[in-house]
Amino acid sequence: MKQNLSQKIIDANIELHKKSAKHYDKIHPEIFNKKEQGLINHVLAQVLAKIKLEKIKVLDLGAGTGNIALKLLNNPRIESIIAVDLSKEMLDELEKKAAVNSKLKIANKPADEFLADNEDNYDLITISSVLHHLPDYFGTIELILKKLAPGGVLVIFHEPTGEKSSLLSICEWFDSRLFVNLFLPKDLKNIVKSLDTILADYHVYHEFDLSGLKKFFKAKNNLEIIFFQKHNTFALRSLRLIGKYLPKKNNFILAAQKK
């Protein structure tokens, strides 16, 4: 990818999350619904059970408003969490929720810049709804794996599968339009309609390569995929119910452990 395009993607994400940070959780019920949140907690519990350490150092990349970090913060096995995000506004929302907590450290940097500058290793690295925003997610994952301690786990939450079908596309079209136009108050509706996602969600529009990503992990002799699931997630509960029966899935979770 050309440097000029990479910078445009980064700038678009800074602008998008600056506008949406205060309302992020409310405008993303496809993430912040009871079922999806329960699934995240379930996967985190499974992953923590795989890490054979009394105390765990966590890196939450693209931490946003704290979807993952806040679930780990009060776990007695968690020694520290570094929450990294290029959006100051998103991290401000996380800090409001977390209040004062000595376990939590904040880093307002792009993921690649943080990974290049930071010298520590981590026992658990989490990424939630981040890879599709990055200019080169394969390159970022290479950097991440260098920071993963032996026995440590990388977990990727809520990323697009890239799978397509007419039925899935129809459901996604109805889901976004009905949610925004019928279920959001006017002020939030105006904010959502003003967001430019074409560059910010670059790999949603340019097909996320899930097949290539799985091959990438399987080719690493020192990595083992310990969890993988594809599923559909929608803003509207009715479509989440329908989504269970669709053959194509729009989201995935993947966890890999370093040997």
Question: What's the pLDDT tens digit per position in 158-202?
Answer: 999 999 999 999 999 999 999 999 999 999 999 999 999 999 999
Q: Which residues have CB under 8 Å from 241's CB, separation 6+?
A: none
Looking at the whole model, is its pTM more than 0.75?
yes
**Residue 121: its pLDDT value, please?**
98
**Residue 233: its pLDDT value, please?**
97
Pull the structure tokens for residue 18. 């600056």
Cα atoms in the 13 Å half-sphere on the side-chain side of 22? 4
**Residue 23: its pLDDT value, please?**
97
Is 100's pLDDT higher than 90? Answer: no
Nearest-angstrom CA–CA distance, 243 and 171? 8
Nearest-angstrom CA–CA distance, 42 and 192? 30
Average pLDDT of the residues of the chain = 96
**Residue 2: its pLDDT value, please?**
79
**Residue 207: its pLDDT value, please?**
86
Identify the helix (H) or strand (E) that includes residue 173: helix 166-178
Which pLDDT band holds residue 146 (cuts at 50, 70, 90)?
A: very high
Is 209's pLDDT higher than 80? Answer: yes
Bridge partners of 18, per DSSP, are none
Contact 46, 19 (CB under 8 A): no
Contact 215, 115 (CB under 8 A): no
Question: Could you report how far apart the first and last alpha carbons of the chain are, in Å?
Answer: 31
